[in-house]
Chain A
Amino acid sequence: MIEAKNTGQRRRLLRPARRQRRGRMYFESRVLPWLLLLPALVVIFGLILYPVVRTLWLSFTDAGLASLVSGQMDFVGLRNYADIFSDPELRMTFVRTALFGFACVAGTMALGLSAALLLNQKFRGRVVLGVLVLLPWAVPAVAASIVWKWMFDDQYGIINWALSSVGLSMFKGFPWFNDWLPAFVAVGIVVVWQSFPFVALMLLAGFQAIPQEVLEAAKSDGAGAFQRLRHVTLPMLKPLVLVLIVISTIWDFKIFDQIYVMTGGGPAHSTEVISVATWREAFTQLDFGMGSALAILLFVVLALVTIIYIRLIREEELG
């Protein structure tokens, strides 16, 4: 308060500089924000805009590889989209992508939250664990997929060895990649392994931003550790949690490397998700119209999911 009064006096003293200050205020409120934003907008949209528009256009054509070069292609309207919806296999791909994507998001958030809670405690070795937990994130996706695929090897994999050594004899030679369910479990573990460190790191940063007084107050009101988490910490972090869910959803719906390396979408397309189907249609079948349509539909699905999330965030902000 005292400070404000002082500055008020000072402002009066500085009256001759007022016009200049006006100009600065206009600059700072109208021009500066855009100036700050400009470089980002240029790098984001300068490069991406043409590819996105072109993909949208291609999705309404029957473009093959030769037509990408010659530019000769037929406009087919919504036929690619109609084909996707009438093909039971491709319809299944969307269901699969959503189920697998959400399962990975749930796993990532659960493990990320547990890790962050653990690292928020005081115990010996906490700093070391804090670094170790980040390790999976540092391993490149392709290398991680190779080493995990190897650990899941039916004959010589360490996972089957360990499980059957502790008495689970059904895992002796268990074929993880013969069917979609165990194959997705294996791939899902790798995806969660690689993405939980990011979530844990961000949540930990969030935890530490919560003022200690709030937690102390809850504690003196008799709230236990779990209650404090449920009624104080998580509600305060809800915006951050929702942002993390949005980001994870976008990543996990687009998973490509891990599936490509570990299952290739097989056996018989049973682990194929949309991004892999996009690649297959475009790069192996050379049907760029269809590939583009799949990409656009994935975009639409993700946009819808994100809008729903953002609605949730906004309600939270209002409430």
Chain B
Amino acid sequence: MGGAGLAGMGLLGAAACGGGAGAGSSGGKPSGSIKVWIMQPGSNELEGLIRGFAKDFQKKNQGTKIELQFVPWTSAHDQFVTAVGGGQVPDLAEMGTTWTPEFASLGALAEQKEKLSGKYVESLIESGRVNGKVYGLPWYGGARALIYRKDVLDKLGLKAPQSWDDIVKVGETVKKKTRLYPFGAIGNDEHQYLPMVWQAGGEIAVKSGGKWRSKMDSPQAVKAFGFYADLFRRHKFSPAGALNWDSLDLRKSFVTGDMAMMLGGGWDVSGILAEAPKLKGKIGTALTPKGPAGNRDAFAGGSHLVVFEGSQNKTLANAFARFMLAPERVSEYADKLGFLPGTIAGIKKSSSRNDPLFHPFTDQFVNMSRTYPPVPQWGGFEGDELFVGAMQQIMGSKQTAKQALAEVTTKMNQAFKKKTQ
């Protein structure tokens, strides 16, 4: 029978996978070919690095073929949806950590049965966990901290702000004494202000009795959003157009020398230095200023490597994933991206650990960062611009923080109630 061969192969694949996908080598010799989607890293050089990994892997494992495709970030979510809906998924893919629960709960991803704890960065493991099962291998990640113009603050005899109050104090002085915008309060990037809910002692959503409930209408959340909007609205620390700025616009203003302080990641620092070499030595970095609750937590974002449930060759997919996660490779790629490796061994190898300019990002990521609630609905919240829209309404004085967040809470709870489709 013609179908026997195919069915046999499927069985074999499943058996090998169930036998412990741990290290590819232990679960039988990988062979065949797989399709791998990697997010567009933004330069030929970085693409070349990934291509090199694939080539090395194929050389080491004769008879395997890695078919790479680079997916543009801006349309990556669409492309995953089309692949799942159209019934033709890749075998292995890089996926933004906030999307992993969404596609996992659809049954599109294969569970990672290996014990990841202790080997990978804890917050990134958490962000790939749905109902106790883990679906994403942490590849790289990062957290935002404070980036500031050391030369400007030094001249004014100021220190990097340590708290929310400091941001206002330092900012007011910078505003009075220089022509720079003091602090990048921007509307179109939720990672800037959602963590402030934690810093104020609040939560975004909590799980009780197996059900998620939004906490965005709590006084802490209202305080956080109100404070951030006030930096823009009342203190005018950033220009009027910042209401619709995203993180790239913010970095641009820092590069041109018009911005004194911003929240950003290590990737921003390397980007700034590449685009504005004249700022070398003039930039300082520090941990995210702490909120009224004494908390400094920032958002731990990044990428997972996920194996698709529809893959016919999970052995090879897992083997190639582990290959890219080897300390030297993961640290090289993450370093060049300006992120940190998702594995503990990788972080130990990462060069940014010893650089004082980059050290705060490592510290922030490893010790003071959290992920957003790993709910399947998060991708929908992002796509709906739920938090961004609310912040822009507050910044534009169209709604108070209380009104806007009450709406956010209603929408979140409605989404939690809806059966996940």
Contacts and interface: CB of A to CB of B under 8 A. Distances in A.
Interface of A: 62-69, 153-156, 173-179, 263-269, 279-280, 282-288
B383 interface: yes
14 contacts: A65-B106, A65-B421, A154-B239, A155-B256, A175-B240, A175-B243, A178-B243, A266-B244, A267-B388, A268-B398, A280-B383, A280-B384, A283-B77, A286-B81
B84 A177 contact: no
A62 B107 CA distance: 18
Contact of B106 (A62, A66, A288): A66
Interface of B: 77-78, 81, 84-85, 87, 102, 106-107, 187-188, 239-241, 243-244, 249, 252-253, 256, 258, 379-380, 382-385, 388-390, 392-393, 396, 398, 420-421
A67 B384 contact: no
Contacts, number: 100
Given A156-B252, A268-B392, A269-B385, A177 B85 contact: no
Contacts of A263: 244
A285 B388 contact: no
Contacts of B384: 280, 284-285
Contacts of A266: 188, 244, 385, 388-389, 392
A95 to B, nearest CB: 19
A284 B385 CA distance: 10
Contacts of A175: 239-241, 243-244
A67 B385 contact: no
Nearest to B245: A154
Contact of B240 (A66, A178, A286): A178
A267 B392 CA distance: 7
A266 B391 CA distance: 12
Contacts of A65: 81, 84-85, 106, 421
Contacts of A64: 420-421
A177 B244 contact: yes
Q: Which of B107, B244, B249, B253 gathers the greatest number of chain A CB atoms within 10 Å?
A: B244
Contacts of B393: 267-268
Nearest to A285: B380
A177 to B, nearest CB: 4
Nearest to A288: B85
Nearest to A177: B244
Contacts of B258: 155
Contact of A69 (B85, B102, B239): B85
A69 B420 CA distance: 14
A288 B244 CA distance: 29
B300 to A, nearest CB: 22
Contact of A284 (B188, B380, B392): B380
B396 A178 contact: yes
A68 B107 CA distance: 13
Nearest to B256: A156
